[in-house]
Amino acid sequence: MYLKRLELQGFKTFAQKTVLLFEPDAGNRRGLTAVVGPNGSGKSNVADSLRWVMGEQSLRLLRAKKSEDVIFSGTEKKSRAGYAEVSMTLVNDDHQDLEFSEIVITRRLYRDGQSEYEINKQAARLGDVAMLLAQCGIGQRTYSVIGQGMVDEILSASPSERKEFFDEAAGLKPFQLKRQASLNKLDGARENLRQTETLLREIGPRLTSLERQVKRLEQRESLEVELKELEIQYHGGTWKQLRAALRNSKSAHEKAEQQAKRATEEADKLESELHSMEKAIPPSEGFRELRASIDKLSEERVKLRERQLKLESTREIAKARAEKPWSPLPLSKIISEIEDLHKKQLELLELLENAKSDPVKTKRLANEIHETVADLLNKLQRPAPEPQKATAEDPAVAKEAEELLKAMSEIDKKTREAQFELEQWNKKEDQKRSHIFDVQRELSHRRQEAQTAERQMSEAAVELARVETRRDAFLQELRTHRPEQESELETLADKATISEAPESFTPRLTKLRAQLEWIGGIDPETLKEHQETKTRYEELNKQTQDLSQAISSLEIIIKELDQTIAERSAASFRNLNAQFEIYFKRLFGGGDAKLVEVFPEPEYNEQGELIKAVDENAGRVGIDILATPPGKRLKAIALLSGGEKALVSIALICAIMATNPSPFVVLDEVDAALDEANSGKFAEIVSALADRTQFIIVTHNRATMSSAHILYGVTMGVDGVSQLLSVKLQDVIKQAK
């Protein structure tokens, strides 16, 4: 690989577009191109442009104070440029592991601070440019571009700074970049892993909660399906029962209402007929006459009985006087008893008159009257003991007694006749009222039927109200739990079977509803949130696994890179040390020089206590340079003269290029401090190394210019713009011949 072309426009003093071509020499060697010109002409800007296009960010190395200083600032005769642009073209002729045969790297900077990188006209980043150059074996900060003053800096640098220089010279830069990139990725992966694990810890409890809710929701769905099926059976069966019960209750109520209406109508007809019959029958005078006759006979009999009792009392008294007869009851007692019997008879007769409409009661009262009269007669006619034959009776008394007996017999006969007539009258009255009694019985029967029908109607109404209450309660429950089934009740009832009573479903329904109420309502968005959270959790978990695997892989890669870097660094250091000694002796004509590796040492405090131990796995941390020119003792580099330091630096640079040649090397007046003899040696060494490395040297030295096959001259006109002149020395030699 070699540098083929360099284009500058608006970069520092190169205001106009300037192109430098770098071609191999006649022997197809990489060759040497010399850039010459007076001081201040801008020849070192060529080296700065190469450093800048390769991504240099240090303004000090670019000899600028601010980034826009690299843009042509203008002169009195030339306006300033709006941007600076540098492009370099590399040819991949040795077929390195790159996908391009020719690589064009461009860097552009505008005055507003906007910066652009391009690789083969495609936008790129600084890191992409650095990695590409590292793969090509080119380093913008080390020996690929060695500017003014950097020769001394190599020697005056610290061991750790030299180590960076030597690592890049040893071709370790790609591995170090890969290692650094891997470390960055490792840090990023660990940070991402930490953030991912933090998110997992945050999402985990929420996912657990959502899973419980989803599980409850799944359980709720199964319970709702079971509840719906059970409610269909329950509602259908219950409505079928209620429909039948309503139909039966209404039918029973209508039937009882019709029966009550019919019985009431018939009873009203009978009652009207009875009233008409009662009005058609006049009051009976025979009953009053017979009663008056019986009353009169009873009074006469009482009177006769009183006379008889008095007579018997007189006779008894007479008889008692004659002999010791039995003692009759006192007259006052007899009279009192007769009066009581008479009063009772009057009461019975009055009751008989009032009860004439009731034949049964009339007959009973008549029998009581007969019994009362018979009792009265029995008491009045109780026979007296027969007189003793020896007792003589007063004829007048005997006659009066006989008359009284006849009169009593006559009155008894008339009373019996009156009673007979009364019985006959009752029979006739019974016949007359028999139809009324039949009507009354029929009326009573109809009233009883009407009452029974009304009672049945009332019971049917109560049952109907009870069924309607059950229906309303059922509909209310239906509207509360399953309102959409109300319009389907008839269909559900038709499909329902009564193999199992709907009431048997109630415990299970209650339990299912209680379970659903306990589960509570769950937002349907919960499923979406659960799925999203689960997906997010799985993605994070997968990322965690991937990150853990990536971390393990990166750790392995870093370990392998460390091993590769260590192995290559050791091999390169041995070769570099050997080459350094060779070139040192060649430049100095003898002497001794070597490179010494610096390893970390334990740190102690003032009291001698260990502060920091040495890491056994830690590599070298720096490189020291030991150089002893011929005829001198080994001493520190800082004590060497300026020329000796330049020769040591050049020997070191030549050793690096011999050990690990770069595709091209830019040297900016590195030979300025050499005398003529050493300049010749330097030119010989560079010419020998030009077989494998392309050299671009900014110089004033004649020996170096004579070794170049292309010579670029840089001049500056009165407008302050650098201009370029090119000469191929081979063509000049041919023309001279």
* Amino acid at residue number 427: K
CA-wise closest residue to 670 among 693, 690, 651, 689? 651
DSSP code for 134? H
Taking the C-alpha atoms of residue 595 and residue 458, their distance in angstroms, rounded to an integer, is 128
Q: Is 389's pLDDT higher than 50?
A: no
Condensed to tens digits (0 to 9), the pLDDT of residues 249-288 reads 888 888 888 888 887 888 788 777 767 766 655 555 566 6
Mean pLDDT over 508-516 rounds to: 79
Q: Is 139's pLDDT higher than 70?
A: no
Q: How many CA within 13 A on the CB side of residue 571? A: 8
In a domain, 345, yes or no: no
pLDDT at residue number 71? 94
Mean pLDDT over 688-702 rounds to: 86
Q: Is 616's pLDDT higher than 80?
A: no
Taking the C-alpha atoms of residue 359 and residue 367, their distance in angstroms, rounded to an integer, is 12
- 173-280 and 126-136 helices, crossing angle to 10°: 140
In a domain, 106, yes or no: yes
pLDDT at residue number 498? 62
| Tokens coding 538 | 């799985």
Buried b / exposed e along 689-704 (16+ C-beta atoms within 10 A): bbeebbbbbbbbbebb
Concatenate the DSSP letters of all residues of 192-236 into one string: HHHHHHHHHHHHHHHHHHHHHHHHHHHHHHHHHHHHHHHHHHHHH
In a domain, 714, yes or no: yes
- Pick the residue with more confidence: 519 or 707? 707
Q: What pTM was estimated for this model as a whole? A: 0.51
Taking the C-alpha atoms of residue 32 and residue 728, their distance in angstroms, rounded to an integer, is 11
> What proportion of the chain, given as a percentage, has pLDDT over 90?
10
Sequence-separated contacts (24+) of 200-208 with Cβ below 8 Å: 200/537, 200/540, 200/541, 200/544, 203/533, 203/536, 203/537, 203/540, 204/537, 206/533, 207/530, 207/533, 207/534, 207/537
Condensed to tens digits (0 to 9), the pLDDT of residues 99-121 reads 778 899 999 999 998 999 999 99
pLDDT at residue number 353? 66
- Pick the residue with more confidence: 322 or 454? 454
Q: Could you give the C-alpha distances from 49 to 88, 111, 671, 711, in angstroms and in order?
A: 9, 17, 20, 18
- As beta bridge partners, residue 86 has 8, 107
Mean pLDDT over 435-456 rounds to: 75
Structural element, H or E, at residue 626: strand 622-628
Band (70; pLDDT cuts 50, 70, 90): very high
Mean pLDDT over 161-173 rounds to: 74
Per the CB < 8 A criterion, the answer to whether 694 and 2 are in contact is yes
CA-wise closest residue to 342 among 367, 369, 365? 369
pLDDT at residue number 617? 55
pLDDT at residue number 715? 92
Taking the C-alpha atoms of residue 287 and residue 388, their distance in angstroms, rounded to an integer, is 48
User: What are the φ/ψ torsions at residue 11 (nearest 5 degrees)?
Assistant: -90, 115
CA-wise closest residue to 295 among 332, 342, 362, 249? 342
Structural element, H or E, at residue 254: helix 173-280
Among 4-13, 77-86, 177-186, 433-442, the range scoring the smallest mean pLDDT is 433-442
- Pick the residue with more confidence: 83 or 227? 83
In a domain, 558, yes or no: no
- 676-689 and 525-588 helices, crossing angle to 10°: 130
Q: Is 52's pLDDT higher than 90?
A: yes
pLDDT at residue number 321? 56
Q: Is 14's pLDDT higher than 90?
A: yes
Per the CB < 8 A criterion, the answer to whether 331 and 313 are in contact is yes
Range of the domain at 96: 1-144+664-737
Q: Is 8's pLDDT higher than 90?
A: yes
In a domain, 200, yes or no: no
* Amino acid at residue number 301: R
Band (481; pLDDT cuts 50, 70, 90): confident
| Tokens coding 525 | 């968005």
Q: Which residues contact 381 (CB under 8 A, 6 or more apart)?
A: 408
- Pick the residue with more confidence: 166 or 2? 2
SS (H, E, C) 282-325: CCCHHHHHHHHHHHHHHHHHHHHHHHHHHHHHHHHHHHHHHCCC
In a domain, 46, yes or no: yes
Q: Distance from CA of residue 397 to its chain's centroid? A: 134
Structural element, H or E, at residue 98: none
| Tokens coding 221 | 């769905």
Question: Furthest-apart CA pair in the chain: how many Å?
Answer: 234
Rounded to the nearest integer, the mean pLDDT of the chain is 79
Q: Is 46's pLDDT higher than 80?
A: yes
Condensed to tens digits (0 to 9), the pLDDT of residues 77-95 reads 889 999 999 999 998 876 6
Number of H helices, E strands in the chain: 16, 16
User: What are the φ/ψ torsions at residue 558 (nearest 5 degrees)?
Assistant: -65, -40
- Pick the residue with more confidence: 166 or 16? 16
In a domain, 115, yes or no: yes
Taking the C-alpha atoms of residue 437 and residue 578, their distance in angstroms, rounded to an integer, is 161
Helix boundaries (H) for 355-394: 359-380
Q: Is 35's pLDDT higher than 90?
A: yes
pLDDT at residue number 211? 83
pLDDT at residue number 327? 47
Condensed to tens digits (0 to 9), the pLDDT of residues 184-225 reads 888 988 898 899 889 888 888 888 888 887 777 777 777 778
Other Cβ atoms less than 10 A from the Cβ of 199: the count is 15
pLDDT at residue number 10? 94
- Ranges of beta strands (E only) in 45-153 are 83-91, 102-110, 115-119, 122-124, 145-146
In a domain, 652, yes or no: no
Which CATH number fits the domain that encloses residue 29? 3.40.50.300
Condensed to tens digits (0 to 9), the pLDDT of residues 447-479 reads 777 778 878 888 888 888 888 888 888 888 888
- Pick the residue with more confidence: 548 or 379? 548
Q: Distance from CA of residue 64 to its chain's centroid? A: 62
SS (H, E, C) 163-184: HHHHHHHCCCHHHHHHHHHHHH
Residue 204, exposed/middle/buried by CB under 10 A (0-12, 13-18, 19+)? Answer: middle
Q: What angle do CA 369, 437, 348 make, to 5 degrees?
A: 15
Q: Is 6's pLDDT higher than 90?
A: yes
Number of domains in the chain: 1
Condensed to tens digits (0 to 9), the pLDDT of residues 559-605 reads 888 888 888 888 888 888 898 889 888 888 888 888 888 877 777 77
